[in-house]
Amino acid sequence: MGDVASAAAGLLSTLAPVKPDLVLIFASPSAMLPVLAAEMRKGLPASTRIIGCSSAGELSGEGYCNGTAVAIGFPARSFRSEVLVLDELSRLPVSRWMTGLRDMLARFKPDPGRRLFGILLVDGSSQQEEVLVATLDAALPHVMVMGGSAGDDLDFSQTFVIADQAVLQDVAILCLIETDLDVRDLIFDHFRATETRMIVTRANPAERLLLEINAEPAAEEYARIVGVPVAELSPLVFARHPLLVNMGGRFFVRAIRQQTEEGGLLLMSSIDTGAVMSLGLAEDLTEGFEAMLRGLPATPSLILSFDCILRRLAMEHAGLGGVIKDIFHRYNMAGFNTYGEQHGGMHMNQTFVGLAFLDPERH
């Protein structure tokens, strides 16, 4: 408790002077969240909105971290936000959500001098991201919404989101934000599709269970295809050999979370029987990523970052911690490692998505 309160005091010393309209908090373990939120609330204006979630790790200019907290403040001089809690994810009250989303959007009048975007934080245990992002895309068709699913250090047990001082489950938080800064969305994964194709012959989409591939038990067939004994399947193997599905001409990762006792594969996104999958081949982990960042017209004041935990595992296994720390530092990146990423109406895995904030007068 004392360490968390001390950490909160350190974060507040940086945040309070900017008079933030909104503060995002990402922390692991999740037990830190309620204390952090309460301590932050004491030291920030009553009008400041505080949202956040538990993480599978944090990222900042210090590189990848665990057991720490990242807090990001959005100064009121350049940002205005509203927060909507989308509750009862397990029941999917879509009509009620859409009413709330449209009402919130109506409070942001079009302004050519300001940009509107959304940040989404989801209880990563909900397994409802696909329906949720489709709902957001329908209710907010011209708003870029981006975010991540909360994690819990690869325990896959309990994940949490926070709104002000309330620590919540079975909910998502959508924050609409307008700003006078230039905002650029970023998306990157390091895979290309190989010629190896697979057919999903049995699946349970609601449970995100892949039961059969090519009419064989899923774990056994996947292990045969990637060339490892089924007993040696692990998060690192899954991170290096992802499943890809083609949607609208673009390949999206359907990451594997774990093997089930029955010989199936539990995914981090849903998949349907009859889907055609390609085996992904990993390319350079950082070269394309840095090239994307170099393509920005100026160095951002911040890149709000949502990076899949499986990407992090692959980079750490490759010994790239120092390289990625340098990139995060140079481009002012901060965020968390997710159990899934959302971008442009899609839920995906093993992908980096981010929002870069640039001063329009500097480029």
What confidence tens digit (pLDDT) does each residue in 100-117 have? 999 999 999 989 889 999
- Mean pLDDT in the chain? 92
Same domain assignment for residues 27 and 164: yes
Same domain assignment for residues 161 and 277: no
pLDDT tens digits along 242-272: 899 998 888 888 989 899 999 999 999 999 9
Do the Cβ atoms of 206 and 198 come closer than 8 Å? no
State the Cα–Cα distance between residues 234 and 227, nearest whole angstrom: 13
pLDDT at 74: 97
Other CB atoms within a 10 A radius of the CB of residue 253 amount to: 25
Do the Cβ atoms of 212 and 270 come closer than 8 Å? no
State the Cα–Cα distance between residues 227 and 10, nearest whole angstrom: 49
pLDDT at 282: 81
Same domain assignment for residues 45 and 184: yes
Same domain assignment for residues 324 and 294: yes
Instruction: List the domain range (segments joined by +) for residue 257.
Output: 192-282
List of residues 6+ apart from 248 with CB closer than 8 A: none
Average pLDDT over residues 293-311: 95
Same domain assignment for residues 59 and 42: yes
Same domain assignment for residues 334 and 253: no
State the Cα–Cα distance between residues 345 and 348, nearest whole angstrom: 10
Same domain assignment for residues 160 and 56: yes
Domain boundary among 252, 282, 312: 282
Same domain assignment for residues 24 and 86: yes
For residue 58, give the nearest of 24, 26, 14, 36 by alpha carbon. Answer: 26
Same domain assignment for residues 157 and 263: no
For residue 301, give the nearest of 329, 331, 325 by alpha carbon. Answer: 331
List of residues 6+ apart from 181 with CB closer than 8 A: 78, 115, 301, 357, 358, 359, 360
Domain boundary among 282, 317, 345: 282
Same domain assignment for residues 245 and 342: no
Q: The whole model's pTM is what?
A: 0.90
Domain boundary among 266, 282, 298: 282
State the Cα–Cα distance between residues 187 and 326, nearest whole angstrom: 19
Same domain assignment for residues 79 and 199: no
Same domain assignment for residues 171 and 265: no
State the Cα–Cα distance between residues 76 and 314, nearest whole angstrom: 38
Q: How far is CA 218 from the centre of its chain?
A: 27
Q: Tell me how many domains the chain contains.
A: 2
pLDDT tens digits along 325-349: 999 999 999 999 999 999 989 999 9
Position 11 confidence tier, pLDDT thresholds 50, 70, 90:
confident
Question: Would you say residue 33 has pLDDT above 60?
Answer: yes
Average pLDDT over residues 216-224: 97
